[in-house]
C-alpha cells in the first residue's frame, strides 16, 4: 500500500513543528522577543517593544484612577536573516514505505531552525557587548554563583530573570543539593526539558548545550530586554499578483502561546516526481540593555 501523505493536514504539521521548537528551545522564550505572523521587508528594522514594570500612582480624589502609557523598552532589530530547511522526497521513497515521510522530517527540520536562531543570538554574548561578568570554575558553580549573578544584575527588573548555561554548568547545578532540594527549588527540576526554576531570584536556569564557548563563556544571565530577537515571515507571492496559480501550497502558522510563526511551503514537481517541504522564517537578533545582562565565565589563567 502506498504511503498516505494526506493523513496529516498542513496546519497540523506546522503547528506540531512550532510546538517542538518551543519545547526544545525554552531559551527562545526566555530572551526578549518580538514575534508576528505578518510579512516584512527583508533588511527592514523593526522595533521590539519589551514590557517593563510600570510606575505605581496614588489615587486622586480629583482625577481618580488616572492612566499612564504602557511602559516598554524599545530595541531596534534588523531583520537580516532569512533561513529555511528544505527537503525532497523522491517518488520511489514515497511509494516504497507506509511511513509519513513529511511528518518524520518535521522535528529535525524545526530543530535545525531553532538551533540556528539561538546560535546567532549567542554570537552577541561577547565582552564587548556585555561588560558585566561573574567568574566561576565549573566545579565550583552552584547556588552561590547565581546569587553573585543576581547581585551583578542589580538595577535590572526583578521579574523575568533567566540564566542560560552550558551542559557542564547545568550538570554541576543538578548535583547541588541546595538547588535540587524541594526547599530551594519549590518543585522538582525538569531535567528532561533542561530547566531548573526559582533559584537565587532567577525564574529559569536553562541548559544551552550549544552556548558559544568563546571568551571562556559558560553562561549568560539577564532579563528580556538584555538580548532580543524579532521574527517575521516572508511575503506570500500570491499577494503580489491576485489569482496567481502557484504550483504548491503556502501557509503561515502561529503558535498561540509564544507568537512564533513559520511559513510552510509544499511543492510537487510532477516531471521529476519529487515532493519538496520547506519551513522558513526571517528574523534578526540584537543587543538590548547591556547593563541588564551578565556573562558567566571561567577564571582567566593566572
Cα gap 221→152, rounded to integer Å: 10
Q: Is 17 left (phi over 0), alpha (psi -120 to 50) or beta?
A: alpha
- Give the pLDDT of residue 14: 55
DSSP state of 190: B
Average pLDDT rounded to a whole number, residues 18-32: 79
pLDDT, one tens digit per residue, over 159-169 is 889 999 999 99
Residue 24 makes CB contacts below 8 A (sequence gap 6+) with: 110, 111, 114
> What is the pTM (predicted TM-score) of this model?
0.82
- In the block, which residue shows the cell 526554576? 197
In the predicted structure, residue 103 carries a pLDDT above the cut 70: no
What mean pLDDT value characterizes the chain? 83
Q: What is the model's pLDDT at position 77?
A: 94
* Residue 186: pLDDT band with limits 50, 70, 90: low
* Entry field: residues in the chain: 302
Q: How many domains does the chain have?
A: 1
Burial letters 6-35, b for 16+ CB under 10 A, else e: eeeebeebbbebbebbbebbbbbbbbbbbb
Higher pLDDT, 241 or 111: 111
Asked if residue 5 has pLDDT above 60, the reply is: no
How far is 35 from 260, CA to CA, in rounded Å? 6
- Provide the pLDDT for residue 220: 97
**Can you spell out the DSSP letters for 108-127?**
HHHHHHHHHHHHHHHTT-ST
pLDDT of residue 230: 93
Grid cell for residue 180:
535540587
At 232, which CATH number? Answer: 3.90.1690
7-21, 41-55, 206-220: which has the highest mean pLDDT? 206-220
Domain enclosing residue 130, as ranges = 1-302
Amino acid at each position: 500500500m502506498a504511503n498516505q501523505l494526506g493523513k496529516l493536514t498542513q496546519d497540523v504539521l506546522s503547528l506540531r513543528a512550532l510546538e517542538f521548537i518551543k519545547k526544545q528551545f525554552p531559551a527562545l522564550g526566555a530572551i526578549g522577543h518580538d514575534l508576528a505572523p505578518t510579512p516584512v521587508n527583508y533588511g527592514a528594522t523593526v522595533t521590539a517593544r519589551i514590557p517593563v514594570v510600570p510606575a505605581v500612582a496614588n489615587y486622586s480624589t480629583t482625577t481618580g484612577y488616572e492612566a499612564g502609557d504602557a511602559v516598554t523598552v524599545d530595541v531596534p532589530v534588523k531583520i537580516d536573516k532569512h533561513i529555511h530547511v528544505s527537503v525532497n522526497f523522491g517518488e520511489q521513497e514515497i511509494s516504497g514505505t507506509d511511513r509519513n515521510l513529511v511528518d518524520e522530517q518535521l522535528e529535525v527540520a524545526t530543530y535545525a531552525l531553532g538551533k540556528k536562531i539561538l546560535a546567532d543570538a549567542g554570537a552577541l554574548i561577547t565582552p564587548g557587548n556585555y561588560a558585566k561578568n561573574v567568574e566561576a570554575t565549573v566545579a565550583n558553580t552552584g547556588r552561590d554563583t547565581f546569587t553573585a549573578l543576581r547581585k551583578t544584575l542589580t538595577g535590572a527588573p526583578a521579574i523575568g530573570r533567566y540564566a542560560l548555561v552550558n551542559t557542564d554548568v547545568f550538570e554541576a547545578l543538578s548535583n547541588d543539593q541546595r538547588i535540587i532540594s524541594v526547599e530551594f527549588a519549590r518543585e522538582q527540576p525538569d531535567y528532561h526539558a533542561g530547566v531548573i526554576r526559582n533559584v537565587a531570584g532567577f525564574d529559569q536556569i536553562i541548559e544551552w548545550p550549544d552556548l558559544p564557548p568563546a571568551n571562556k563563556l559558560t553562561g549568560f544571565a539577564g532579563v528580556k530586554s538584555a538580548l532580543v530577537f524579532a521574527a517575521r515571515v516572508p511575503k506570500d507571492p500570491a499577494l503580489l499578483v491576485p489569482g496567481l496559480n502557484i504550483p504548491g501550497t503556502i501557509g503561515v502558522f502561529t503558535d498561540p502561546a509564544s507568537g512564533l510563526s513559520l511559513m510552510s511551503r509544499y511543492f510537487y514537481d510532477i516531471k521529476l516526481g519529487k515532493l519538496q517541504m520547506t519551513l522558513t522564517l526571517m528574523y534578526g537578533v540584537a543587543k538590548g540593555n547591556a547593563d541588564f545582562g551578565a556573562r558567566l565565565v571561567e577564571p582567566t589563567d593566572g
